[in-house]
Amino acid sequence: MAITLTEYKVKSLKAKSLRYKIFDDLGKGLHLVIQPTGKKSWYMKYRIAGKEKSLNLGRYPDVTVKEARELCHEEYKKTSKGIDVSKEKKLEKQRFIDEDYKSFKDIALAYTEVKTKQNRIKARDLLGRLNNYVFPMFKELPIKEIKASHLSECLELIQFEYGYYETARRMRQDFINIYKFAVQREFIENNKARELDPLERTKAIESFPAITELNRIDEFGLVISNLYNNNENIVISTAIKLLPHVFARPSELRRMAWKDIDFTNATWTYEMTKITNGFTRKTQRLVPLSPQVMGFLRELYKETGDFDYCFPANTQTGYINKQHLKDGVLRSGVDVKVQSIHGFRASARTYLDEVSELGWRTDIIWQQMGHKVFDKNGRAYNRTLFLNERIDMMNQWSDWLDDQRNRVEDNCFVRKEEQG
């Protein structure tokens, strides 16, 4: 029995007491097998050396009617060249098993290889999204351990933390395609990515201007120099100097409390609150403090050590507000339309990764940023992950900031001497 299959017709097919099949008259041997359990799977019938064979193309609805038809035509072209596609698929699956292709990263990279043959530019863009946003979160997490909620958290991070709606929207489709690739090769049974709701631009995403380009490091050094050479009182002065060093969110920095500072171990530990889709989630965050930061805090403690908060102010909360920070940065000579108070996170994230003398791994940077990084069992790592590496990274970052600031100030001094 052969009919022109459509989504509506396939959905309406009911299970019977015995297994049965329906052929698609637009496919080259394409047919749908319906089990008594209601499970529906796509198969392709073909002949090699006069022998009839069958190839599994995936389960419906993970593979749609249109996709099944396209797959069937692709595989049919191979059979016309004498290729046994069923045997080829088994060999490919065994190769994946032999090479330990079990993690999301391995499967995503394998998919990218296939994509490169189809469209090199799109494959390059996909690899960039994976390296920047996905791999640091999932690391070597097996694809079977990744939950739909993990994928959703990654998309929310891209859309709301980074402010990249279009990137998040593309990444959602990337997840669907990667999981479809895994389902077709029988690494997993279901395409969890199809459970992800389509993204909506519910409001304009606020962007945080930041200097991140490698050819603008001198400009970034001038920003740091301006922050250091401010004329503010010690409370505001210390707060704006710390912004680039600890790259915490401005709201977290403003609430810094003396009880959370460990002067012996040079750490700042506090509870971070994030609101996602109306739900409040609290996590502990640990920030290693460089010698430079500790020096600032020791001087500040002499003035505000009797207060609960490091940056006290006559406000309803008892600490400085966002406008205090923003105005202090503005008065120091920094254009917040170029380098915003929130943008220091983006600057640190980019330069720590891309500057050759820094070159830190993205998963370590992400952990320090307070983003989730999952272990091989799908659990989010605790706050002490990579602690020794993060201590070294934060110390090196503060030294690098000082180097950029000193270079800018030395150049200014030289120019003044030449003019004199």
Please, where in the chain does CATH 1.10.150.130 lie?
A: 100-195
CATH number of this structure's domain 2-96: 3.30.160.390
Cβ(218)–Cβ(409) under 8 Å? Answer: no
Show the CA angle centred on residue 394, arms to residues 234 and 225, nearest 5°.
Answer: 45
What digits encode the pLDDT tens for the residues 172-213? 999 999 999 888 887 888 899 988 888 877 554 456 889 999
- CB burial of residue 318 (10 Å; 0-12, 13-18, 19+): middle
Contact (Cβ atoms closer than 8 angstroms) between residue 44 and residue 57: yes
Residues carrying CATH 1.10.443.10, the chain: 214-419
Q: Is the whole model's pTM more than 0.85, yes or no?
A: no
What CATH code is assigned to 100-195?
1.10.150.130
- In DSSP terms, which residues pair with 41 in a beta bridge? 33, 59
Per-residue confidence at 54, pLDDT binned at 50, 70, 90? confident
Q: Which residues of 328-362 are buried (b: 16+ CB within 10 A; e: fewer)?
A: bbeebebebeebbbbbbbbbbbbbbbeeeebebeb
Domain 214-419 has CATH 1.10.287.3240: no
pLDDT digits (tens, 9 = 90+) for 331-387: 999 999 999 999 999 999 999 999 999 989 888 998 888 877 766 656 566 667 789
* pLDDT greater than 50 at residue 280: no
Q: Where in the chain is the domain with CATH 3.30.160.390?
A: 2-96
Please tell me the predicted confidence (pLDDT) of residue 420: 54
Half-sphere exposure of 230 (CA within 13 A, CB side): 25
104-145, pLDDT tens digit by residue? 988 999 899 988 888 888 889 999 899 888 998 887 788 888
Backbone angles phi, psi at 59, to 5 degrees: -100, 145
Average pLDDT of the chain is: 86
